[in-house]
Structure 1
Amino acid sequence: MCCSGFLKMMMFIFNGAIFLAGAGILGVGVWVKVDSGSLTGLLESADAPSELSVLANVSYLLIGVGAVLLVIGFLGCCGAVKESRCMLLTFFSIVLIIFIVEVAGVVLLFVFNDLSDQIVVALEQEVGKSLGEQFGRSDSEGFTSVWNTTMKEFQCCGAKNYTDFDGSPFNTENVNVYPQTCCNETITVGVCNEYEAERSHIAGCVGKLVQLIEENAVIIAAVVLAIAALEIAAMVVSMVLYKQIGNKA
C-alpha cells in the first residue's frame, strides 16, 4: 500500500509538471500565432521566401507539442489517481511512441551529420539567389522586411555574405549600396558600399544559425537526455501501477 501510494505520488508529480509545461508551450504557440506583428507573421506573407516560410510553422509546432503534453499529463495524473488501467496503458503507449521517435531522430542526426556542410552550402546558394532577385523589390516588401528583421536580430548579412545582394533591386536602385547591417558601424564611414561591406566581414545568417546550434549543442543534448530519462521513469512507474491495479482486480 505504501509503495502504491509512493508510485501514485511520483506519477502525479511527473505528469503535473508535464501538464504545466504543455500549458505553457501551448500558450506561447497561440500567442505567436495571433501576434501578426511578430516575425512569423511576416514569414507567412505571400512575399516570404519558401526557404524561410517553413519557420512560420513554429507556432503550429508549439501548439501541437503543447497539446500532446497536456494530454499526456492528464492521462498520467488521472490514470494514477483513479487507478484507471486504460488511461495508464494509453499514457504508456503515447510516451513510448514519442520515445521511439526521439531515438529515431537522434540516429538520423548522426547519419546525416556528414552531409551538414553540403546542406549549408546548398542553402546559402538557394537563399542567396532569392536575395539577389527579390530584396528591395517594390512587390516584395514582406520578403525585404523579413530579412531586415533577421539580419538586425542576428547581426548577420545575407545568406553567406554581402555579395548575396549584388545585382538585387535594393543594390541597383541605390547605386551599389548594401543593407546597413552588412557594415560594421564602428568602422564604416558614410553609406554601406562594397568597400565598407568587404572590410566589415559581417558573417552570413545561415552560418550564424549553424553556429548558434553548435554553441548550444551540449545544452540541447542535456535537455534531450533529461527528457528521455523522465520518459523512461514515467513508463516504468505507469506499468508498475498498471500491474498492481490488475492484481487488485
Structure 2
Amino acid sequence: MAVEGGMKCVKFLVFIFNFIFWVCGVALIAIGIYAQTALDKALTVSSSSASSTPVAILVLGIIIFFISFFGCCGAWKESYCMVTTFAVLLSIIFLVEIAAAIAGYVFKDKVRSVLEEGLWDAMRKYGDDKPLTEAVDELQRDFSCCGANNYTDWFTIERFKVNDTVPRSCCHINTTSCNIHPSPATINEKGCLQSIEAWMKKNILIVAAVALGIAFFEILGIIFACCLMKGIRSGYEVM
C-alpha cells in the first residue's frame, strides 16, 4: 500500500533532498581532493593532524554520498527500517559536523602554530630528508615564498648560515647564483606561512558556504525523513 495524501509529497521531498545530499557529498569529495592537491606540500611539511584535514573532508563526503543513496532507496521503497536508519545516521553526521565546527573555532589559533612548527621542522631537516626537501622546494616555488616567516629564517640553519645562502627554490630570478648572498632583489622575501594563510583565507568562504548549505539540507532531510517514518508506520501493518 502506497503512502497516501501528503505522505506522497513527503516521500518525494525526501527523495529530492537525498539527491541534493548526494550532490553535497560529491562536492565535499571534490573539496577534499582539491585541498589535498593544492596544499599537498604544505601538509607534508606540517604535522599529521593538519595533514588529516583534507582527508577528513574527503571521508565525510564519501559517507554522505553513500548515506544519501541509502536514503533515496528507503524513500523510493517506502521502507520504514531504511528511512529510520537514514535519519539516525544523518543526525549523527550533523552532530559530528557541529562538534567539528566548534572545535575548529576553539582551536583556530593553534593552526598557525602547528603549521609554523611543521615548516621549521622541515627546514631543519632540509637536505637530510629527501621527501621533505622536495616538499619544501615545491612549496616555496608554488607559493613564491621563502622560509617560514621570511627568507632570513634560513640563516638560522647552520648549513645555510655558513655559506650565506638559501635554497634555490627561493629564487624569483633564473640565475645560477640567485641563492648566494640573497636579497629581496633575487629571492622571494615573503615567508611560506603568510602565503599559505592567505590561500586559506581566500578559500575558506567557499568551504564555509558549502558546509552551511549541507547543514541546512541535512536538517530538512531529518525533518522530512521523520515525517515519512511516521506516515509509513501509520500506513502499514507490521507483518
In the other structure, the counterpart of 2:144 is 155
**1:91 Cα offset (Å):** 0.8
**1:223 Cα offset (Å):** 1.9
Contact 2:173 2:186 in 1 (8 A): no
Q: Does 1:19 align with 2:22?
A: yes
In the other structure, the counterpart of 2:67 is 72
Q: Which amino acid aligns with 2:138?
A: T
In the other structure, the counterpart of 2:82 is 87
**1:4 Cα offset (Å):** 2.4
Q: How does 1:46-195 map to 2 (within 5 A)?
A: 49=45, 51-54=46-49, 57=52, 60-61=55-56, 64-113=59-108, 116=109, 120-121=112-113, 123-125=115-117, 127-131=119-123, 133-137=124-128, 140-166=129-155, 168=157, 171=160, 175-185=163-173, 190-195=177-182
**1:97 Cα offset (Å):** 1.1
Alpha-carbon distance in 1 for matches of 2:82, 2:32? 27
Q: Which amino acid aligns with 1:127?
A: L
Contact 2:166 2:182 in 1 (8 A): no
Q: Which amino acid aligns with 1:96?
A: S
In the other structure, the counterpart of 1:196 is 183
Alpha-carbon distance in 2 for matches of 1:93, 1:164? 51
Alpha-carbon distance in 2 for matches of 1:58, 1:218? 16
Q: Does 1:237 align with 2:224?
A: yes
Q: Which amino acid aligns with 1:12?
A: F
Change (3 A) 1:213 1:25: closer
**1:82 Cα offset (Å):** 0.8
Residue by residue over 1:12-60, the C-alpha shift from the partner in whole angstroms, topping out at 9 and shown as x without a partner, is 2222343355467669989x99x9xx985x899xxx65x3455654675
Alpha-carbon distance in 1 for matches of 2:58, 2:107? 28
Structure 1, unmatched stretches of 5+, are none
Instruction: Give the counterpart of 1:10 among 10, 13, 31.
Output: 13
Contact 1:43 1:146 in 2 (8 A): yes
RMSD over equivalenced CA pairs, Å? 3.8
Q: TM-score, normalised by structure 1?
A: 0.74
Aligned length: 232
Instruction: Give the counterpart of 1:226 among 194, 209, 213.
Output: 213
Change (3 A) 1:141 1:193: same
Q: How does 1:197-216 map to 2 (within 5 A)?
A: 197=184, 202-216=189-203
Alpha-carbon distance in 2 for matches of 1:195, 1:243? 72
Alpha-carbon distance in 2 for matches of 1:92, 1:233? 11
Alpha-carbon distance in 2 for matches of 1:197, 1:243? 69
Structure 2, unmatched stretches of 5+, are none
Q: Which has the higher contact order (CA 8 A, sep 6+)?
A: 2
Q: TM-score, normalised by structure 2?
A: 0.76
Residue by residue over 1:114-141, the C-alpha shift from the partner in whole angstroms, topping out at 9 and shown as x without a partner, is xx1x65246425532441x22123xx11
Alpha-carbon distance in 2 for matches of 1:53, 1:120? 14
